[in-house]
Chain A
Amino acid sequence: MPTNTPHFINRELSWLEFNRRVLEEARDTEVPILERLKFLAITGSNLDEFFMVRVGGLWQLRRAGKNRRDDSGLSVGDQIAEIAGRTHAFVSEQYDCLAKDILEPLAAEGVRILAIGQLSAEQQRHIARVFDQEIYPVVTPMAIREPVNFPLLPGFGVNLCVRLAPPDNAPAEQLFAIIALPRASSRFIGLPAVEGLQYILLEEVVRGFVERFFPGNTVAECSTFRITRNADLSVSEDLAGDLLEQMREVLEERKESDCVRIEVSQGASKAMMAFFTAALGLDECMVYEATGPVGLAAFAKLVAMPGHDNLRWEPRAPQVGTELRSESIFDVLSRKDLLLFHPYDSFDPVLRLVEQAADDPDVLAVKQILYRTSDNSPVVAALARAAAHGKHVTVVVELKARFDEARNIQRALALERSGVHVIYGIKGLKTHAKVCLVVRREASGIRRYVHFGTGNYNEVTARLYSDVSYMTSREDYASDASVFFNTITGYSAPVNYKKLDAAPLTLRTRLLELIESETQRAQQGQKGRIMAKFNSLTDSALIEALYAASQAGVEIRLNVRGICCLRPGVPGLSENIAVVSIVDRFLEHSRIFCFHRGGDPQVFISSADWMPRNLDRRIELLVAVEDAGCRERLIRILDTCMQDNVKGRKLMPDGSYECMKPKSRKDKVRSQQVFYRAARDSADQDEHVLQKVFDPVLPAASAK
């Protein structure tokens, strides 16, 4: 690698590499077909968000005339061009994957998506009925004579653009019409079928009947398209006024932002393309031709179709230890700390903490942060119930959780109505920490129970994301949690923590100190070692500190699922750093850090990625885990992740990723499988122990 290569990998290109790794899963024949389709849909929704937020941001910069080079040496223009080039290739690969790797084998399994010409007579009658009754009444085409009259279409909707042939004796004027497909209608319309499952796409149905909208006209062509709008609207929280109101405005505003991408179905004429670029002010590179249905994210709905379990992962039930099943969570936590690794370990103990707190007469108060929760969340219900039971319930609801604002506003208002003291986040900072505190009055006095997590209080995603929960009733952690809540609720100025560090105040400094102390140990001839697992690494100060550590001889093993701007393995810079990314069945989401500290490792879990937004603009927590058992388990988790050579890909110095090649079948390590087996074995062992406890039948007198 040339010596003048920048020290940093460009963040956007690194993200594209991540999405490519997800696509590789969609193409992996070892993965069940419907799961592959799910991975493909994820690449689609990932790309949607990427364009809306990141590419949108770059276009904003470009339009504002800012073209500064970033740490990787790329200007804004370079990045836009590079992204477009790579994404065009990526999109064609996505559609290739859809056609060859998914739809073909899916058809072999009896699941088909049919074109209108492939329908049987009965199916044709069916869709005619569907069109007449469900589509036609709710769809209104908008005729457009001039591109400036192009309607304000919301982002991510599926639309048809119809070019009408001019009447015979009229001048050759182009007449276009737009048909926005109803969002409430299913994109995949089920068809009556003799065997298997057959679907037709909504846009295909409308195309089939499109002439009905234009009686007396001739439809020259009809193409499907979907636009992506820029969403990087920075809400200035320092502005006066109600934050809630402001967020509502953002939601409104999002519909009107600039267009940053258009996906058009294959075959659109030059005239139609010219119409789009003129009407939406598009650059040529923003136009993506789809050789299949636009908006691949929609296939997530098809994945959810009933049946066909043979085409999915075999179910893996999250495990719950025996004592957690039979005892109150308070009793367990009074005795010991708990470390749960979801989804291998069940999320139930976390839910039970909140639920038992709601119903336990001795509980005085519950405090919790909600960032993203599920619909009908049992956590939210328990918090409302706790308030109804007269407990003091404080909930910090983060309204700014991206794209969850609407749900969060509803949730906050509902909680307030049930008597919960709701705090709408912190001005200027997103509250991303995951912590729950329960205050309970016991015979020996007040006892506080705390849960710290790396993932959200969302029992649905807890079955899909790998995250860590640490639960304890230790005094230091409890008092730190109290301090934390007092700080973010504005009740108290920040004071020193014993076991925590919080962003934006001390987390960054603490991480730098931890890296620095490994560096110093290595410089003094001791062994220095850092293992860390997180979702993204983009912070230049931390990366520089890691480079310095590497140069001092610290062995650094990173497990970074997504973006990684650090360039590993560069001689003289980072030869002691190895980066592995795992993309597998469960979304890698936990943040675990381990610093060797001369043989007495310091282990942490955190809600924060190593990104400036997490360290400087969010409320995040770094939790030192000192319980020997929990600490050992976290180290084992890290070790296993670093060894994954089946779903782990190694980051190369040039920013690309390479699959690892285990020498033989028995050398294969697939971390998620290892974790699942370990959790299952541990539960089995519990069961075994339980069965060994005999329950003697006592004489009636002594039984009393």
Chain B
Amino acid sequence: MAVNEQNIAVAASVVGKAPGPKPMAVIDVGTTAVRMDIAEISATGDIRRLESLQRAVNLGRDTFSGGRIRQATVEECVGILQAYRRVMEEYGISSDDQVRAVATSSIMEADNGDAFLDRIYITTRINVVPIEESEVNRLTYVALYRLLEKEVFLKEGNALIIEVGGGSTKLLLIQDGAVTRSSVFRLGALRMRETMEKHRTPADRIRAVVEEHIERTVEEMQHGIPVETVQNVIAVAGDMRLTMSKLVPDWKEGETAKLVSGAFAAVEKIAVAPADELVRKHHIPYHEVETAGPALLVYTRVARAFKAKQIVVSTLSLREGLLVDEAGGGLWTESFTNQILNSARSLGEKYDYDRLHAANVMELSLTLFRALQQEHHMDVRLGVLLKVAATLHEIGLFVSNRSHHKHSMYLIQNSDVFGLSHEDMLIAALVARYHRRSQPKPTHEGFVMLDREGRIAVSKLAALLRVADALDRRHTQRIHDILLSRDERRLVITAPDVEDVTLERLAMEGKAGMFEDVYGLKVILRTGVTPGEDS
């Protein structure tokens, strides 16, 4: 078994690399603005930003107030993206693999969100893909990874990464360098304002209502994170650079700025200043002011709530994450996978899981996953989902012994694990659900929501998880190192250091049926002797 985790990550990151710098365009269709960065990615993954463009739009306003993107806004976005297409061409960016365009999920709340993206594609040939908040969180982490690695003070101790967008606020808790929490709150700078306008909140009450709303959300954020354990609040402020440059005049592009607690009051003063004043006095565009005001308030309130000493303001943005992703530094790399697992373990802790059992089952599942690569042809992502499912397969015990697999499914499906999308979470939840008892049926809740590929993946992964779980039937981790061999009809698992595997065989009889159904191989569990035909 020569395959290890690192190999998987490396194999994934080298895909699609071309020699020489590759010009790329990354586009973020957001609630208040459409933004594009043009950059070059070198063969070694270095990113050199060439241009940044942004134009204000009313996507969020339309969506949050009327539930629909107005035709005029659609056409405005089309115009902007046509102009962006022209700028791309000026850098020789012409093929689809040089363009990555995303739309934040808030926009997809609009009834005509899909039609809007289709219209953009038809007129500009730019394929804007909607992304979930969890993906935004992942990309934020990807963007910040280098910063977190570089800054010693961020590596040690706990840090909260916060990004306040037009529609939602994303939060990541980093504990000693590990992502242990990833949450999304429906606290959006623009959403708040539009909601208030919709409900005709009197002007003199708006500020109080906003502050109240922020306070409530901050309280929610505090749940499960002890006060005074957070040393730094990291504000992702790439899209409010102008505002930040007024607060920190010496701030240089690409560097972080520190706002110490003594400066919070000054920040809050700017945060609550009338938009017109900021525009007039500081030449900050309206679309930035609209988000920046509430965002600044969130940052200081969070910092105050957690008694953080400082706010570290970073100029990074979602687009930086997209670029790092494209440079091979993002998706499913070793570090990223580790953070997903950190986050999953943190969820397990929350539900008082059997940490050692979970870890052993995960390792055993992974061994099976790698060994059977030729049979299942599943990619790295599904391997990671298997690890998450294995880590969390028994958290349902927190609710009840009875049908705990169903509780596990429910809990996973309704939690946030850093870096995983809703669909990822559903697959992991279903894999956990099928670690015992019934095999998947088309009538099962959740399973029915998946497409054919998803369903097959669930079956393949659950079959592996069942075998791995059977191997640690005793929850003692006495079988932790296995050797695998196979012939046409059998998968032989040998536990070299274990003499008696009776209980595990018994368990295997109840659980390996699904494996046999899916892989067409009978599972044989042996003990002691080293088999001669290792695979």
Contact = CB atoms under 8 A, between A and B. Distances in A.
B22 to A, nearest CB: 9
B55 A446 contact: no
- Provide the main secondary structure of the chain B interface: mixed
B497 interface: no
A439 B91 contact: yes
Interface string B9-44: 000000000001101000000000100000010100
B245 interface: yes
Given A441-B92, A486-B87, A496-B253, A491 B23 contact: no
Contact of A496 (B20, B21, B56, B245): B245
B77 to A, nearest CB: 13
Most buried by B among A421, A479, A489: A479
Given A445-B20, A446-B50, A493-B54, 10 more contacts: A364-B91, A439-B91, A483-B52, A491-B80, A491-B87, A492-B53, A493-B33, A493-B285, A494-B283, A498-B253
A494 B285 contact: yes
Contacts of B52: 483, 492, 495
A445 B241 contact: no
A364 B54 contact: no
Contact of A506 (B49, B83, B86, B283): B283
Contacts of B91: 364-365, 439, 446
Contacts of A491: 53, 55, 80, 83-84, 86-87
16 contacts: A364-B90, A392-B86, A421-B86, A444-B21, A445-B40, A446-B50, A482-B51, A486-B53, A491-B83, A491-B87, A492-B53, A493-B287, A494-B283, A495-B54, A496-B253, A498-B253
B241 A495 contact: yes
A495 B48 CA distance: 18
A443 interface: yes
A505 interface: yes
A490 interface: yes
B196 interface: no
Given A392-B89, A496-B241, A486 B51 contact: yes
Interface in A485-529: 486, 489-496, 498, 505-506
Contacts of B90: 364-365, 392, 439
B206 interface: no
A308 B384 CA distance: 89
A446 B91 CA distance: 8
Interface in B86-105: 86-87, 89-92
A483 to B, nearest CB: 7
Nearest to A497: B253
Contacts of A489: 83
Contacts of A364: 90-92
A495 B242 contact: yes
A482 B51 CA distance: 7
Interface of A: 364-365, 392, 421, 439, 441, 443-446, 448, 479, 482-483, 486, 489-496, 498, 505-506
Contacts of B33: 493
Nearest to B84: A491
A441 B48 CA distance: 14
A492 B283 contact: no
Given A439-B91, A483-B52, A492-B53, A445 B86 contact: no
Contact of A446 (B21, B54, B245): B21
Contacts of B283: 494, 505-506
A490 B84 CA distance: 11
Contacts of B20: 443, 445
A603 to B, nearest CB: 20
Contacts of A482: 50-51
A513 to B, nearest CB: 10
B177 to A, nearest CB: 31
Contacts of B83: 489-491
Nearest to B242: A496
Contacts of B86: 392, 421, 491
Nearest to A487: B53
B42 A479 contact: no
A98 to B, nearest CB: 51
Nearest to A475: B48
B242 to A, nearest CB: 6
A371 to B, nearest CB: 22
A378 B20 CA distance: 35
Nearest to B22: A445
Interface string B485-515: 0000000000000000000000000000000
A449 to B, nearest CB: 13
Contacts of A446: 21, 23, 40, 50, 91-92
Nearest to A364: B92
Nearest to A366: B90
Contacts of B253: 496, 498
B285 A479 contact: no
Contacts of B92: 364, 441, 446
B315 to A, nearest CB: 10
A479 B51 contact: yes
A392 B91 CA distance: 9
Interface string B68-87: 00000000000010011011
Contacts of A492: 52-55
A493 B56 contact: yes
B213 to A, nearest CB: 28
Nearest to B87: A491
A653 B417 CA distance: 75
Interface in B225-248: 241-242, 245
A489 B82 CA distance: 13
A70 to B, nearest CB: 26
Contacts of A392: 86, 89-90
A556 to B, nearest CB: 25
Interface string B268-303: 000000000000000101010000000000000000
Contacts of A496: 241-242, 245, 253
Nearest to A492: B53
Interface string B166-196: 0000000000000000000000000000000
Contacts of A443: 20
Contacts of B50: 446, 448, 479, 482
A421 B53 CA distance: 19
6 smallest A-B Cβ distances: which pairs?
A: A365-B90, A492-B53, A445-B21, A392-B90, A491-B83, A493-B285
Contacts of A483: 51-52
A692 to B, nearest CB: 39
B88 to A, nearest CB: 10
Contacts of B53: 486, 491-492
A396 to B, nearest CB: 14
Contacts of B241: 495-496
A222 to B, nearest CB: 61
B146 to A, nearest CB: 19
Nearest to B80: A491
A365 B86 CA distance: 10
A618 to B, nearest CB: 16
A23 B283 CA distance: 44
Nearest to A362: B92
A482 B52 CA distance: 9
Most buried by A among B48, B54, B83, B87: B87
Given A392-B86, A392-B90, A444-B21, A493 B48 contact: no
Contact of A445 (B48, B242, B245): B48
Contact of A493 (B21, B40, B51, B55): B55
A446 B40 CA distance: 8
A302 to B, nearest CB: 48
Nearest to B281: A509
Contacts of B40: 445-446
A445 B42 contact: yes
A386 to B, nearest CB: 12
A52 to B, nearest CB: 35
A483 B87 CA distance: 11
A426 to B, nearest CB: 15
